[in-house]
């Protein structure tokens, strides 16, 4: 005969499943209420503001207000994308065109930004989504909390609240039931309970359906994907040319450093050795002095060669990987540096080199220009993407522009289809984020 623990096992498991289902239904109901309010308040407000702002373009005012409103629409849509992924596992890609690095500032830049956003098909799809979100989206979202709350209201009526409502001359309708007696009130309670039972299974599906409806409008279309692919190909071609130019410039730098540094010292050392050979018997003291100078030149030449090799490909990077190489960089900095690395494997050598020199350049900028006292470096790999964040508490004001070191980093990362983002308000702090798509080995 089975003991009590064994006999109660299936019942306990069933109770846990019921509790989990009820919890999921209640959470979905709360999320549906939030989405419904967000759709009615946010979508209606933003849609009206966008339409009015675009209409005011003919008067010139809209050229300055439209980018602000459309940026708010994009943030609102991106928030819905985040909720779709976190709450229902529905992934909605972001299709917006990226602003050019050389977009002008001031009034001219504002007009250019306005025109760029209006030419972006994703902008108009956002506006279409606002229309759908405030109607069908709000309905699908409000059904989830309604299925939960209707049961409570039905039982409230059944417990006698129907009487004062009825005697006040207001016949109450509960769905399709006209509540005029205790019997109809009990029927309302039973219907509410049935709707709650439906909600246990339907609420998560309703929330997912809401996000699937949003994805049908917010996700990039086939033509948009083709356009993005074409832009990506153009960008890769551009970065490839930049990589070739950078490699040629790097070779010229190496040749110049060898010619002006180690090579010159080695030539001088050879001449000194010839002079020493002639003086070793005639003037031993002078020969000894020149021998010491030759030894010094050989040491300096060796140091320059080591620095040159380290600049081409640091030995620690080749031997121990990106994580240890970045930690070695941090040890050489004249300020406090914290490094957090989570890399469970090795990257391809070209990617490691690109990431290493990008971090090196960023740290150099923090030391030379940011006047920082502390730097934090975070390196980790997730979802097929290497992500590096370098943050300093310096004076800020860094930006990507023509001729800046950050532009060189952006070109270096672009060779591997990577991206660079900079957040650096005046007064600091500065955060430089780098992402490179890659896999660990």
DSSP string, 146-211: HHHHHHHHHHHIIIIIHHHHHHTT--EEETTEEE-SHHHHHHHHHHHHHHHHHHHHHHHHHHHHHH
pLDDT on residue 132: 94
pLDDT tens profile 397-416: 777 765 566 777 877 787 77
Higher pLDDT, 177 or 143: 143
Compute the distance between CA of residue 100 and CA of residue 95 in angstroms, rounded to an integer.
Answer: 15
Query: Residue 185's pLDDT band (boundaries 50, 70, 90)?
Result: confident
Share of the chain above pLDDT 90, in %: 17
Do 328 and 321 touch, CB atoms closer than 8 A?
no
Compute the distance between CA of residue 238 and CA of residue 232 in angstroms, rounded to an integer.
Answer: 10
Q: Which of 153-162, 250-259, 382-391 has the least mean pLDDT?
A: 250-259
Average pLDDT, the chain: 79
Say if residue 267's pLDDT is above 50.
yes
Query: Residue 346's pLDDT band (boundaries 50, 70, 90)?
Result: confident
Query: Residue 305's pLDDT band (boundaries 50, 70, 90)?
Result: low
Contact residues for 313 (Cβ-Cβ < 8 A; gap 6+): 353
Mean pLDDT within 41-48: 94
Q: Give the bridge partners for 172, in sequence order.
A: 179
Global confidence as pTM: 0.51
Compute the distance between CA of residue 149 and CA of residue 214 in angstroms, rounded to an integer.
Answer: 25
Compute the distance between CA of residue 167 and CA of residue 189 in angstroms, rounded to an integer.
Answer: 20
Hey, which of 39-53, 176-190, 211-225, 343-357 has the most confident mean pLDDT?
A: 39-53
pLDDT tens profile 420-434: 888 888 887 888 888
Mean pLDDT within 188-213: 86
Say if residue 186's pLDDT is above 70.
yes
Alpha-carbon distance values, 213 to 25, 89, 129, 216 (Å): 20, 14, 9, 5
pLDDT tens profile 354-383: 888 888 888 888 888 877 888 889 998 887
DSSP for 346-401, please give it: PPPHHHHHHHHHHHHHHHHHHHHTS--SEEEEEEEEETTEEEEEEEE-S-------
CB-based burial, 9-24: b 16+ in 10 Å, e otherwise: eeeeeeeeeeeeeeee
pLDDT on residue 238: 59
Q: What angle do CA 133, 134, 137 make, to 5 degrees?
A: 45
Do 154 and 191 touch, CB atoms closer than 8 A?
yes
């Amino acid at each position: 005969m089975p003991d009590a623990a064994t006999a109660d096992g299936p019942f306990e498991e069933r109770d846990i499943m019921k509790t989990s289902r009820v919890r999921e239904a209640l959470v979905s109901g709360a999320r549906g209420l939030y989405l419904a309010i967000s759709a009615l308040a946010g979508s209606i407000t933003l849609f009206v503001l966008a339409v009015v702002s675009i209409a005011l373009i003919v008067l010139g005012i809209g050229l300055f207000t439209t980018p602000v409103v459309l940026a708010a629409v994009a943030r609102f849509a991106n928030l819905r994308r985040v909720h779709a992924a976190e709450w229902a596992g529905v992934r909605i890609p972001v299709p917006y065109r990226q602003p050019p690095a050389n977009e002008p500032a001031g009034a001219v830049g504002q007009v250019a930004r306005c025109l760029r956003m209006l030419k972006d098909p994703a902008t108009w799809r956002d506006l279409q989504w606002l229309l759908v979100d405030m109607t069908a989206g709000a309905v699908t979202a409000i059904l989830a909390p309604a299925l939960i709350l209707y049961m409570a209201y039905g039982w409230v009526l059944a417990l006698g609240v129907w009487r004062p409502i009825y005697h006040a001359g207001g016949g109450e309708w509960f769905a399709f039931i006209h509540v005029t007696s205790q019997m109809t009130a009990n029927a309302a309670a039973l219907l509410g309970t049935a709707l709650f039972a439906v909600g246990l299974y339907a609420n998560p599906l309703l929330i997912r359906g809401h996000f699937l409806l949003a994805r049908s409008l917010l996700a990039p279309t086939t033509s948009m994907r083709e356009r993005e692919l074409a832009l990506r190909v153009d960008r890769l071609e551009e970065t490839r040319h930049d990589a070739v130019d950078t490699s040629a410039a790097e070779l010229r730098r190496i040749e110049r450093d060898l010619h002006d540094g180690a090579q010159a010292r080695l030539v001088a050392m050879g001449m000194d050795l010839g002079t020493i050979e002639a003086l070793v018997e005639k003037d031993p003291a002078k020969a000894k002095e020149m021998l010491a100078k030759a030894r010094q030149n050989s040491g300096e030449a060796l140091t320059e060669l080591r620095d040159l090799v380290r600049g081409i490909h640091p030995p620690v990077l080749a031997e121990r990987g990106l994580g240890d190489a970045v930690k070695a960089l941090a040890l050489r900095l004249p300020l406090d540096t914290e490094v957090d690395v989570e890399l469970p494997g090795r990257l391809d050598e070209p990617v490691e080199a690109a990431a290493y020199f990008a971090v090196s350049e960023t740290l150099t900028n923090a030391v030379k220009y940011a006047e920082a006292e502390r730097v934090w470096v975070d390196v980790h790999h997730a979802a097929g993407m290497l992500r590096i964040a370098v943050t300093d508490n310096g004076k800020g004001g860094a930006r990507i522009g023509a001729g800046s070191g950050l532009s060189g980093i952006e070109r270096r990362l672009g060779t591997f289809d990577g991206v660079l983002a900079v957040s650096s308000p005046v007064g600091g702090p500065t955060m430089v984020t780098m992402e490179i798509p890659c896999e660990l080995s």
